[in-house]
Amino acid sequence: MGLFFTLSNALECYVCDNQEDNKHKCLQSIKTCEQDEDVCMTEVKWGSAPYWTVGAKKQYYISKKCATESHCRRIREKNMPDCTYLWYVDWKCSECCRGDRCNYFIFVRIIKVIMVKVLETFTRKKWIDLSVESGLTRCLSTLDLTALGIGSTLGVGVYVLAGSVAKVAAGPAVIISFAIAAIASIFAGLCYAEFGARVPKAGSAYVYSYVTVGEFIAFLIGWTLILEYVIGAASVVKGLSEYVDALLNHEMQNFFKSIVQFEGDHFSKYPDLFAFTITMIFSLAIAFGAKESSVVNNIFTLINLGVVLFVIGAGCIHANFKNWQLPSSCYGTNDNSDDCKNRGKGGFAPFGIAGIICGAARCFYGYIGFDVVATAGEEARNPKKSIPIAIVTSLTIVFLAYFGVSSVLTLTIPYYQQNDKAPLPFMFDSIGWGWAKMLVSLGAICALCASLLGALFPLPRVIHAMASDGLIFKFMGKLHPRFQTPLIGTLTAGFLTGILSAIFELDQLVDMMSLGTLLAYSIVAACVLILRYEESEAFEKRVDRDPRTAIFIVKQLININRITMSTKLTGQISACLISIYAYSTVASCVLILRYKECETFEKRDDREPRTVIYIVKQLLNLNNTTRSTKLTSQIASSLVFLYILSCIPTTLFIINSSQHILNGSFSTIGVLVAFISILVLILICIYRQPVSDKKLLFSVPLVPFLPAFSIFINVSLMMTLEAKVWYLFTAWLSIGLVIYFLYGIKNSRCGSQLTNLISEKNQNNKRNVQQEINNGMAYNNPSFVE
């Protein structure tokens, strides 16, 4: 209703007489006319009302201009004086606007205006004054950041995940699953580091995306981060509960089962009230202002690493390499018992490549937490060097811990005999080391308590940030007057975390966590790619832009146009190639930013033509564009999106046809080569686009190939997760989208600030234009007319 009310109030009708005789006289003869005169030319736009003003933008309007038939004929023939042509060239000539004769045109234009407005709403960005110092002291060394990454990452993956994945997914090949997940995490971490370098302020991926990409993507990332932290905390407290239960010889489990039991495969067998209680206690501690102590965290980290080293050393004593070569006694028989189903085909990889990849998707959860290193950029002494080194080093150390623990687990006990609830105490119990069982359990409890605090602590920050921005209910971010914490939001999130930990099994929580995290990293990666190829700031203001012909764009895919400076066209080509790749990992945003239009090119008026030939040539950069422009940025973004879409069928084909590929099936390999060729061609087109000239403290090397590979791995891991995990995640995302469309768009703080700014500018422009008309000085210079 508000849109059409605005349109009806903005109806204007103007006439300009004697255009052919005298330009100066034409410019001074603007006046209101009646709608029943001669011919009515109609225009519906967003962004340039009144049409003759400079800067009077950002509002809907319908303009109807009365003219003569000769005027319209001359417009169609492009035979008008400068004044008339400039004013009328974008107008639609029709018979006078009585009745419904102009309604169709107006309706079509309104639909276009609405679509443009929706796009502008989705892409409106939060403004942060980077010139204001945060007051944070740059005191963190590379060692400090590395310890921070290890402490935030090493947890459930060691004490629960290794045994669970070995038993049900990968067998002894769980070490390969951990290696694949480590590679994906390192690539994602590098992309995350560049994303953070673009906004040198402390914060999360939500803040980074809001500032650099736009509101809608920021909401998706923020909503996914809430799920990530909630499920991450739920999985940690679930692992903590299982370890405590193992210490008590399952007395706690038996007690809860005696009260009530759950039926079905999607829920826990009993309500874990212990996990719920622990979660609420930690949530209350955080809500009432409890803060992490670096000393306590360092102690917990040392205990954690000490227990891991002890497990690896003690396990090596009882290692038996025959456990990696076990033949399955069930393989080739008709035994369909559950025990036989869990053994697969035996050997090192009893569940094949599909099992290894599926296990890698779960093992990815074990590396979640490294992003805290990238968010500490303002406190690092030398973020350009220390952040990437700390990310890679911490992930490498964590991988070595996972590699060692999973190796001794599967070498000491056959993979199908692993305890998927508390594998380490079970291993020491099996070899008769009861005292070691107690030691490891106590160490695991200390480590999991630290992980739980680390998982719950950032949750109020994200909720408070989104509520303060108006994207979720504002009462969720309201600070308590005494404790200065978002009390309601923290307790609500803690309650949801407790419910999830009480009714779901750990495996299901880990899968949901992995999917949410992979998606968040994929979006961030896509944003990094898009921003890397965005229009250069200096080129935006130029007029000599690339021609937008189809041939030019196609040639620009491999830069046959020989553009040496990244332009808008090259940025768009790169963004297209990157967008496809981007839905899979944090890497996409890096690529597009690298190919952003150059700053020097943005300011020029000689911009590229938008002919079809020019655009097609620009796909390979046959136009020889050397600086990124708006066109190259759009092409790059589109290519990124196309790459991501192409990754989905490619990964699904590899997963479902892995056995045929290993057997050397000619037809299967041929299809695989075709899929890979498409991906390679898209990457070549992205590579040919000029990159943005924006200088960063840290940038991902080997762009676009490294981020693209990261995206491919992340998409592959997401495609291996079970359908029920996607259903649960889709339900969560649907709830968030309902909140955003019904509440967030209307109450967005960024939108309110823009509306107020636009309203103020429009009022000033209206006053200025009216004064010009009253004085008979309505813009003598045609260049002012849009």
**DSSP three-state, residue 757:** helix
266-318 pLDDT, tens digit each:
677 778 888 888 888 888 877 765 444 456 666 777 787 888 888 888 888 88
CA angle (639, 642, 647) in 5-degree steps: 125
Under the banding of pLDDT at 50, 70 and 90, the label for residue 369 is confident
Q: Which tokens is 198 given?
A: 């673009």
Under the banding of pLDDT at 50, 70 and 90, the label for residue 581 is very low
Asked if residue 541 has pLDDT above 70, the reply is no
The pLDDT of residue 681 is: 92
Find the Cα–Cα–Cα–Cα dihedral 598, 600, 602, 604, rounded to 10°: -140
Q: Same domain for 79 and 149?
A: no
Q: Same domain for 534 and 492?
A: no
Q: What is the mean pLDDT of the chain?
A: 69
Q: Same domain for 436 and 560?
A: no
Name the phi and psi angles at 570, rounded to 5: -65, -35
- Environment class of residue 783 by beta-carbon count within 10 Å: exposed (0-12), middle (13-18) or buried (19+)? exposed
Q: Same domain for 739 and 768?
A: no
- Averaged over 488-505, what is the pLDDT? 82
Under the banding of pLDDT at 50, 70 and 90, the label for residue 758 is low
718: alpha, beta or left, given left = phi > 0 and alpha = psi -120 to 50?
alpha
Asked if residue 82 has pLDDT above 80, the reply is no
Name the phi and psi angles at 388, rounded to 5: -60, -40
Most confident of the following: 203-212, 336-345, 527-536, 725-734: 725-734
Asked if residue 631 has pLDDT above 70, the reply is yes
517 in any annotated domain: no
Asked if residue 747 has pLDDT above 80, the reply is yes
Do the bridges between strand 60-67 and strand 12-15 make them parallel or antiparallel, or are there none, so unpaired? Answer: parallel
557: alpha, beta or left, given left = phi > 0 and alpha = psi -120 to 50?
alpha
**DSSP three-state, residue 92:** strand
The pLDDT of residue 561 is: 54
Give residues with Cβ within 8 angstroms of 106, minimum separation 6. 42, 44, 62
Q: Which tokens is 506 given?
A: 């750990």
Top pLDDT among 326 and 503 is at: 503
518 in any annotated domain: no
Among residues 370, 392, 404, 393, the alpha carbon closest in space to that of 162 is found at: 404
Q: Same domain for 76 and 218?
A: no
**Contact criterion met (CB below 8 Å) for 175 and 524:** no
- Environment class of residue 772 by beta-carbon count within 10 Å: exposed (0-12), middle (13-18) or buried (19+)? middle
Q: How far apart are CA 567 and CA 582, in angstroms?
A: 21
Q: How far apart are CA 63 and CA 88, in angstroms?
A: 11
- Averaged over 687-715, what is the pLDDT? 81
Q: How far apart are CA 655 and CA 661, in angstroms?
A: 10
Give residues with Cβ within 8 angstroms of 673, minimum separation 6. none
Among 213-217, 348-352, 555-559, the least confident range: 555-559
Q: Same domain for 168 and 281?
A: yes
The pLDDT of residue 124 is: 82
Q: How far apart are CA 248 and CA 769, in angstroms?
A: 81
Top pLDDT among 576 and 349 is at: 349
Q: Which domain holds residue 595?
A: 529-746
Q: How far apart are CA 139 and CA 294, in angstroms?
A: 13
473: alpha, beta or left, given left = phi > 0 and alpha = psi -120 to 50?
beta
Q: Which tokens is 302 given?
A: 């040392």
Residue 601's alpha-carbon distances to 315, 564, 612, 665, 709, in angstroms, are 62, 12, 21, 51, 30
Asked if residue 518 has pLDDT above 60, the reply is yes
Q: Which residues pair with 566 in a beta bridge?
A: 627
The pLDDT of residue 471 is: 86
Give residues with Cβ within 8 angstroms of 53, minimum separation 6. 765, 768, 769, 784
Q: How far apart are CA 222 and CA 213, in angstroms?
A: 13
336 in any annotated domain: no
Burial 198-230 (b: 16+ CB within 10 A, else e): bbebebbbbbbbbbbbbbbbbbbbbbbbbbbbb
Helix segments in 539-604, DSSP class H: 550-555, 568-582, 588-594, 599-602
The whole-model pTM stands at 0.66
- Averaged over 754-777, what is the pLDDT? 52
- Averaged over 538-555, what is the pLDDT? 46
134 in any annotated domain: no
Top pLDDT among 739 and 615 is at: 739
The pLDDT of residue 674 is: 92
Q: Same domain for 564 and 628?
A: yes
- Averaged over 398-425, what is the pLDDT? 86
**DSSP three-state, residue 585:** strand
The pLDDT of residue 75 is: 53
Q: How far apart are CA 190 and CA 208, in angstroms?
A: 15
DSSP string, 142-206: HHHHHHHHHHHHSSHIIIIIHHHHIIIIIGGGHHHHHHHHHHHHHHHHHHHHHHHHHS-SS--HH
Among residues 266, 342, 689, the alpha carbon closest in space to that of 500 is found at: 266
Single out the residue in 469, 488, 504 at which a domain terminates: 504
Asked if residue 190 has pLDDT above 70, the reply is yes
Under the banding of pLDDT at 50, 70 and 90, the label for residue 428 is confident
Asked if residue 714 has pLDDT above 50, the reply is yes
The pLDDT of residue 678 is: 92
Single out the residue in 504, 519, 546 at which a domain terminates: 504
Q: How far apart are CA 441 and CA 172, in angstroms?
A: 23
Asked if residue 717 has pLDDT above 80, the reply is no
Under the banding of pLDDT at 50, 70 and 90, the label for residue 168 is confident
CA angle (313, 316, 322) in 5-degree steps: 165
Give the number of residues written for the chain.
786
Q: Which amino acid appears at position 674 of this protein?
A: A
The pLDDT of residue 586 is: 43
Asked if residue 402 has pLDDT above 80, the reply is yes
Q: Same domain for 307 and 436?
A: yes
CA angle (534, 535, 541) in 5-degree steps: 160
DSSP string, 283-325: HHHHHTT----HHHHHHHHHHHHHHHHHHHHHHHHT--GGGGS
Q: How far apart are CA 75 and CA 65, in angstroms?
A: 14
Q: Same domain for 616 and 734?
A: yes
Single out the residue in 470, 504, 538 at which a domain terminates: 504
Burial 269-285 (b: 16+ CB within 10 A, else e): ebbbebbbebbbebbeb
202 in any annotated domain: yes
The pLDDT of residue 584 is: 42
Q: Which helix (H) or strand (E) is 503 found in, with range?
A: helix 487-503
Q: Same domain for 627 and 553?
A: yes
Q: How far apart are CA 187 and CA 190, in angstroms?
A: 5
DSSP string, 224-238: HHHHHHHHHHHHHHH
The pLDDT of residue 336 is: 53
Q: Same domain for 649 and 635?
A: yes
147 in any annotated domain: yes
Among 156-165, 293-302, 578-587, 703-712, the least confident range: 578-587
Q: How far apart are CA 62 and CA 107, in angstroms?
A: 11
- Averaged over 480-489, what is the pLDDT? 73
Q: Same domain for 322 and 207?
A: yes
Q: Which amino acid appears at position 313 of this protein?
A: G
Q: How far apart are CA 399 and CA 546, in angstroms?
A: 48
Find the Cα–Cα–Cα–Cα dihedral 605, 608, 609, 614, rounded to 10°: 180
Q: How far apart are CA 525 and CA 711, in angstroms?
A: 7
Q: Which tokens is 584 given?
A: 């899979």
Asked if residue 185 has pLDDT above 80, the reply is yes
Give residues with Cβ within 8 angstroms of 401, minimum separation 6. 154, 158, 305, 308
346 in any annotated domain: no
Under the banding of pLDDT at 50, 70 and 90, the label for residue 44 is very low
Asked if residue 386 has pLDDT above 70, the reply is yes
Q: Which amino acid appears at position 649 of this protein?
A: P
Asked if residue 769 has pLDDT above 70, the reply is no
Under the banding of pLDDT at 50, 70 and 90, the label for residue 16 is very low
Q: Is the peptide bond before 486 cis (omega within 30 degrees of 0)?
A: no
The pLDDT of residue 140 is: 73
Q: Which tokens is 137 given?
A: 């002291």
Residue 485's alpha-carbon distances to 57, 264, 547, in angstroms, are 40, 39, 54
Rg (CA), the chain: 31
409: Cα separation from own chain's centroid: 36
Do the bridges between strand 60-67 and strand 31-32 make them parallel or antiparallel, or are there none, so unpaired? Answer: unpaired
Tally of structural domains, the chain: 3
The pLDDT of residue 677 is: 92
Q: How far apart are CA 220 and CA 729, in angstroms?
A: 12
**Contact criterion met (CB below 8 Å) for 260 and 271:** yes
Q: How far apart are CA 196 and CA 318, in angstroms?
A: 45
The pLDDT of residue 102 is: 40
Under the banding of pLDDT at 50, 70 and 90, the label for residue 32 is very low
509 in any annotated domain: no
Most confident of the following: 201-215, 234-248, 558-572: 234-248
Top pLDDT among 63 and 497 is at: 497
Q: Is the dihedral of CA 33, 39, 45, 601 positive or negative?
A: negative
Name the phi and psi angles at 619, rounded to 5: -60, -35
Strands, E, within 586-739: which ranges?
A: 607-608, 625-628
